[in-house]
């Protein structure tokens, strides 16, 4: 089975149809001045909501000093279909939630404001530099989603997780 060496972690990871997108995004992040210590690959959190334990995963989480700054979803295909899933993940993955989210398919990207879901920037230029993101995060108040918002986000996340394609296309 084919494997990749992750640019951030250095770990060997098995091939899947979306991994090349994440590796491309990781290369862009390094070019834009992020350190490997700022970038968390496969950020993971386990939460209990409404008496159910749920596991959440983000492709990439970028931290700015002592705050989460940006969550990234890296996958092939349409960006707009990933927006709600990514915003939902942002509301669940850390306390407080990162103020920004980014969806990227390797060729195009959208930078989203987590509180409103508004698209702030489009194109690969939407991926902020490390300095830009630090300023953006410093200019925003920490966002703590309400319990109701988290429950709704968990439902959205679960729906998208259920609909995910297998790691590798066998057609």
Of the two residues 73 and 167, the one the predictor is more confident about is 73
What integer is the mean pLDDT of 94-119?
97
Q: Which residues touch 146 (CB under 8 Å, ≥6 apart)?
A: none
User: What span, in angstroms and rounded, lies between the C-alpha atoms of 6 and 20?
Assistant: 10
Residue 169, pLDDT score:
46
Architecture of the CATH domain 3-161:
Alpha-Beta Complex (3.90)
Its pTM stands at: 0.89
Residue 143, pLDDT score:
95
Among left, alpha and beta (phi > 0; psi -120 to 50; other), residue 114 is alpha
Q: What is the mean pLDDT of the chain?
A: 91
Residue 40, pLDDT score:
96
Name the band, by pLDDT with cuts 50, 70 and 90, for residue 163.
low
What integer is the mean pLDDT of 24-41?
97
User: What span, in angstroms and rounded, lies between the C-alpha atoms of 17 and 24?
Assistant: 13
Are the C-beta atoms of 4 and 25 separated by less than 8 Å? no
């Amino acid at each position: 089975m084919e494997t990749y060496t992750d640019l951030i972690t250095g770990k060997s990871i098995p091939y899947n149809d979306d991994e090349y997108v994440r590796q491309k995004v990781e290369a862009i992040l390094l070019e834009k001045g992020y350190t490997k210590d700022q970038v968390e690959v496969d950020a993971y959190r386990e939460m209990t909501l409404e008496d159910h334990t749920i596991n959440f995963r983000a492709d990439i989480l970028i931290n700015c000093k002592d705050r989460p700054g940006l969550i990234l979803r890296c996958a092939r295909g349409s960006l707009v279909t990933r927006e709600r899933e990514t915003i939902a993940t942002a509301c669940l993955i850390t306390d407080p939630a990162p103020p920004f989210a980014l969806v990227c398919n390797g060729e195009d990207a959208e930078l989203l404001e987590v509180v409103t879901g508004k698209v702030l920037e489009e194109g690969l230029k939407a991926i902020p530099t490390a300095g830009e993101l630090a300023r953006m995060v410093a200019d925003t108040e920490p966002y703590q989603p309400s319990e109701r918002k988290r429950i709704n986000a968990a439902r959205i996340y679960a729906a998208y997780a259920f609909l995910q394609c297998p790691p590798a296309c066998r057609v």
